[in-house]
Structure 1
Amino acid sequence: MRPVFFGSVLGIGGLANGWRAVNRLWGITPVIGEAFAVAAFGLWLLWAVLYAGKWLLHPAEARRELDHPVQGLAAALAPVATLIASLCIGPHVTVLGWALFIGGAGGVLFYAAWSVGGLWQGGREAPAITPVLYLPTVGGGFVSALACATFGQPTLGWMFFGFGMFSWLSMESVFLTRLFQHGLPAEMRATLGIEFAPPVVACVAYLSLTPGTADHFALGLFGYGCFLALVLLRLVPWLRRQPFGPGAWAYTFGVSALPLAALKLVEQGAGTPIELLALPSFAAANAIIGWIAVRSLVRVGRFLRGASAPVAASG
């Protein structure tokens, strides 16, 4: 089990929050959103148990993975996914939601400080400069801000929002410079899904912290997110040169957050252009994440069949 598997929680949990917004806006049955929420929580629980087992049974391997200059930073997905799980289960089991919220936010702070402390010591080469750098601070900060707003802690939420925002602004030029000069090898291109996520996740967090009419800053964040979505669409043939694998879930963080931001903007009184974008982008997000989920299940099925074949043959 690798930390990148926690990315599935972000995608499915994002859809859950999207369906909840659709229920609030148009009265669609809440069953769909809550089913996605339960699925996201179940995935988080499965990956959490497997990842804890890896540290208990194979600590050397887990440590080597954590020390890897690229894969190690993906471990930030564990506390971020814990926050998403808190949002999914909180409305049903309040105490558990709060426990996951506190544990996730604490995990984000601890791992962000640890990982950034390593970055400040230098020695990172160009191939290791990827959007995965955003996960500990940018992803962690914005999702923590969203969770704080949901759990009624706006002051702490604004602190996390600043943590995420300034980390994003400081790292954006570092990654783009590397991208302009060196590009990304095929096996790393799914990480561009993480590059797409910050403006739309920031928009969702900002709107959650500022109830009332949507303002220009929220619209600006959403606009930049829409632009990045167009860039990714232009790059689809280039991106598809990377074989399908667990890294494909990196796309779902931003893919689920874009329509969620649009839906929250509609809830908070945004104009006609956003209303026209909300439903098509939400439908596209469900289709894309559904396609990734189906392909992932097919891969799991093939793996299980392959694992059971020697046993069947020996019988």
Structure 2
Amino acid sequence: MSRHIEVIAPDDRDKIRKIGFVHFMSISTFAASMGYCGMCFGWRMAHELWGVPAVIGEFFGFCALLFYILIFSRYFHKWRVDSEAVRAEWDSPTKINFFGTFNVSTVLLAAVLAPYTPTIASIFWYAGLILIMVFSWILLEYWLYSRQQVESVTPAWILAVLGPITIPIAGNVLQNPGYHDISIFCVAIGLVTGIPLIFLLFAHSLFAKNMTANAVQPSLMILMAPFGMGYITYTQTFAPDTFTVLFINAGIFLFWPIAIKILYVMRHSPFCMGWWACSFPTMAFTNGVLHYSVDHPVLWTKGLGIFLLLFGTSLILYLSFKTIWAAVHKTLWKLY
């Protein structure tokens, strides 16, 4: 451990030795739970569509819950012993957006747990619903009343939009009182704020200097999440129509250059925990395409759905392996 302390400022070394690894945990670590939730949903669909063993999807769902509990306990410990670091994340114009990963993972777990325990799943859903809406309002107020710097604009801004459109995913399964009206409300948020924000962030990512860092570039995949979640939420709340077909096809067009760029960065750069930001968006878009292949059952949509499911699963398993390797070799904290 001492040989890694050298990367820390001298004045902070005693503090780091006392607190330990938890000091370096970012709120964005909840993205790992989100990614495994996405794999759970994807392989559940694979079971329904192609008869793949159901245990695969349920295993990934169990991993998502396990990671959520582990990360929650460790981050809560960080808040207790190092509240200044948590406050610094909240006050950061770029890191504050990643608090949405905790909110979204909470509501996604409601969909994971729904087949087993609807009561506990409903608790997760209502808790996630409140957290997501409050957080989205806080961010919206922050954007409107504070002068924003160009450097602070990152794809993580989309989490304020991604949160609401994930609420109907579990809501349409649980069908708690008022779920349909809530779903309509969430779809409205996605349409009004999501589409303009997607194009704003896409244009910004082409020119902003802060997007040149290899630690940040995989977060570009966040731009794909609204296409997948938006398609699922809209079609399950209403029905497939021409708009949803246009929307998911636009996502299919954008996916390839973004995926190629991210794979290039991962191949030519040292591993960074920030790469987990691309895990759930990849699976969110994958699930959107899988639903599209059901609504539009032709050869290319089915083939694309299978390819994306295998691609997303391989990507998340790769990130898991790299994370475990870094943790075992005690270099993990240098990767945030």
Question: TM-score w.r.t. structure 2 length?
Answer: 0.84
For these two proteins, the number of residue pairs brought into alignment is: 303
What does residue 156 of structure 1 align with? 182
2:272 corresponds to 1:273: no
Query: CA deviation digits over 1:283-302, x for unaligned, max 9?
Result: 11111111111111111211
2:123 corresponds to 1:96: no
Contact 1:12 1:37 in 2 (8 A): yes
Which stretch of the first structure deviates more once superposed, 82-91 or 295-304?
295-304
2:258 corresponds to 1:235: no
| Cα separation, 1, equivalents of 2:163 and 2:150 | 23
Contact 1:207 1:264 in 2 (8 A): no
What does residue 124 of structure 1 align with? 148
What does residue 203 of structure 1 align with? 231
2:330 corresponds to 1:303: yes
Q: Do the aligned partners of residues 31 and 223 (structure 1) sit closer, same or farther apart at CA in structure 2, a change above 3 Å counting?
A: same
What does residue 181 of structure 1 align with? 207
What does residue 284 of structure 1 align with? 311
- Counterpart amino acid of 1:69? P
| Cα separation, 1, equivalents of 2:236 and 2:72 | 27
| Cα separation, 1, equivalents of 2:293 and 2:100 | 31
Contact 1:131 1:195 in 2 (8 A): yes
Displacement after TM superposition at 1:49 (Å):
1.7
Query: CA deviation digits over 1:113-140, x for unaligned, max 9?
Result: 112111112322111111111112x110
Displacement after TM superposition at 1:77 (Å):
0.8
| Cα separation, 2, equivalents of 1:222 and 1:141 | 18
| Cα separation, 1, equivalents of 2:230 and 2:265 | 24
Displacement after TM superposition at 1:236 (Å):
4.0
- Runs (5+) with no aligned partner, structure 2: 1-24
Contact 2:110 2:121 in 1 (8 A): yes
2:44 corresponds to 1:20: yes
Displacement after TM superposition at 1:5 (Å):
0.4
- Counterpart amino acid of 1:172? I
| Cα separation, 2, equivalents of 1:91 and 1:237 | 35
| Cα separation, 2, equivalents of 1:304 and 1:68 | 24
Look up the SS of the partner of 2:330 in the other structure.
Answer: helix
What does residue 15 of structure 2 align with? none
